[in-house]
Amino acid sequence: MIKKLQKKYALSEQGAKDLVKGCIACVLQNISFMFPVGLLYSLVSDLIKGGVAGNRIPFYVIGCIVCVGLILITTYFQYNATYFATYVESGVRRITLAERLRKIPLSFFGKKDLADLTSTIMADCTFLEQSFSHFIPELAGSIISTLLVSVSLLFFDWRMALAALWVMPVSFAIVGFSAKVQERLNQKAMDTKMACADGIQECIETVRDLKANNAEETYLKGLEKKIRAVEKRSIINEFGLAAFVVSASLVLKLGIATVALVGSMLLVKGTLDILTFFLFLLVVSRLYDPLQGALQNLAAVISTRTNIARMNEILDHSIQQGENRLTNEGYDITFDHVGFAYNTGETVLKDVSFTAKQGEVTALVGPSGGGKTTVSRLASRFWDSNKGRITVGGMDISKIDPETLLSLYSIVFQDVTLFDNTIMENIRIGNKDATDEQVLRAAKLANVDEFAEKLPEKWNTNIGENGCELSGGERQRISIARAFLKNAPIILLDEATASLDVENETLIQTALSRLIKDRTVLVIAHRMRTVAGADKIVVLSGGAVAEEGAPDVLMQKKGIYARMVKLQTESQNWTLA
């Protein structure tokens, strides 16, 4: 049962156990609310029989105290078993989702945007809190306690019991039948919210370009439509839910009428005593109140399916696993008939074979879309190849845990990611255990000191969100400093100087020259002059290796590489007419 609850409601094992405890607590609390009804029934019985005897007064006083005590104890138990437990489980869920995302291949993120994943971890987990603390336990508690009370009513008088209970299955059936409608409405609402969130995020990220092109007004009109669509979809959702819940509640209220009608008929016939009639009126007035809440909870539980499905999509996704022990002999990177295709079916690599040798610089060049970046991602096991084999020093990387494998790599991307922290701490990302002296040494090797010493607080200057206070070249140098600090035997350079000015490019190339010494280096570049000094060029075109060899050898072949060099040389000589 615990496993089923884990899967059904995207819970941890402890969370599923706590959910069971919460349901039991709600059952006990609901039953405790029935004790005052029994006490009142006894009091009325005494009054009908001639009044309350003196020796019965202590019984009612103690009975009231016991009822209050039971309600307090069960309420305390219920509060702890639901509210406190759900906050713990919500935190566990968020951490579990984040840990799962850490191990999922990067190909998963290609079909997910930031707003969607953020919404799953934050908003869906918040909805889980409500479901865990309010909806599911109270629904289970209402149903189970009602069933227990219903059985006892049948022993009193089965005719009156049927008059009171017939509305329950009808009411729950009405809400139950709304499941498919609710799922469709919730999915449409979720899609609308994601479109709105994407629009807001895109607006914030591209505000500079919108201003530059006088496109703010047009864009904001489109964004307003998305916001209005969320408003409209929310109203439709509420109406769709209310239509079923209100209808079910109206049917439930008919139970009081049928109890009164059937009870009156039986009283007239003389087959029912007034005390039993009074008992049933008391019980149903208390019985239908939690059931009305249960109908709303049932509808809410049904609506959580969309949120739970989104969390399970992450939790059920396959992860990259492997051994935590490195067995490589050297650091040669070998691609052996490697093929790769995205989940969309688009083939990126067909049959790629080459070796990037230790101590050499191997450059990947070729037309856009040829598969250069994909090769670097596969080499570091950001993604797994569909066929073929990739090895580092003879070690099959598909059998090594990705985090263990990445201890061998220092990667410098074209798009640098920095954190809203100091320069010192941003560089320390390369090695969290590094001393300040080690960080400064790596920074100087990457020429970071050239600008850091000029800042107001020097190395302790906060550089803002994603390094917004720095230029592109300064941000890139921090990225290279991280690579120096990590000091890994394999270097991957992905267009590290593609968008820099001449001065910054010279500084960064000087830093890179220090970084790549005596290491296995794989460089991706579009500028042919960047890789002119490489030991080996691998030309990728159409997802396959079209040419490979030393730069001078490929120039003599007059193939793709020679043509790219010629075209770039001509473009560099271009001037305004």
| pLDDT at residue 507 is higher than 70 | no
For residue 432, what are the CA distances in angstroms to 37, 428, 442, 453, 459? 65, 5, 13, 22, 16
pLDDT band at 6 (very low <50, low <70, confident <90, very high): low
At 571 the pLDDT is: 59
Residues of each domain in the chain carrying CATH 1.20.1560.10: 2-315
pLDDT in tens, 99-146: 887 778 776 776 666 667 777 777 777 777 777 777 777 777 777 777
Where is pLDDT greater, at 495 or 245? Answer: 245
CATH 2.60.40.420 matches 333-419+488-572: no
Residues of each domain in the chain carrying CATH 3.40.50.300: 333-419+488-572
How far apart are alpha carbons 476 and 472 in whole angstroms? 6
Average pLDDT over residues 235-255: 80
At 568 the pLDDT is: 66
| pLDDT at residue 67 is higher than 70 | yes
For residue 299, what are the CA distances in angstroms to 6, 125, 237? 20, 18, 12
At 413 the pLDDT is: 77
What is the identity of the amino acid at 453? E
Q: Which fold has domain 2-315?
A: ABC transporter transmembrane region fold (1.20.1560)
DSSP secondary structure letter of residue 462: B
CB neighbours of 549 closer than 8 A, spacing ≥ 6?
A: 536, 537, 557
3-class DSSP state of 570: helix
pLDDT in tens, 478-499: 888 888 888 888 888 877 655 5
Among the residues of 428-490, which ranges form H helices?
A: 436-445, 449-452, 472-486
541, 564 in Cβ contact below 8 A? no
Average pLDDT over residues 145-167: 80
- The DSSP bridge pattern shows strands 361-365 and 520-524 to be parallel
Q: What is the largest CA-CA distance in the chain?
A: 119
CB neighbours of 10 closer than 8 A, spacing ≥ 6?
A: 93, 128, 308, 311, 312, 315
H-helix or E-strand spanning residue 350: strand 347-356
pLDDT in tens, 252-269: 778 888 888 888 888 888
Average pLDDT over residues 75-95: 79
Average pLDDT over residues 507-525: 74
Among the residues of 134-215, which ranges form H helices?
A: 136-156, 158-165, 167-176, 179-205, 207-212
CB neighbours of 112 closer than 8 A, spacing ≥ 6?
A: none
pLDDT band at 18 (very low <50, low <70, confident <90, very high): confident
| pLDDT at residue 575 is higher than 60 | no
User: What mean pLDDT is reported for the chain?
Assistant: 78
pLDDT above 90 covers what percent of the chain?
0
At 572 the pLDDT is: 58
At 503 the pLDDT is: 59
- Among 10-14, 409-413, 459-463, which is the least confidently predicted range? 10-14
At 458 the pLDDT is: 84
How far apart are alpha carbons 246 and 262 in whole angstroms? 25
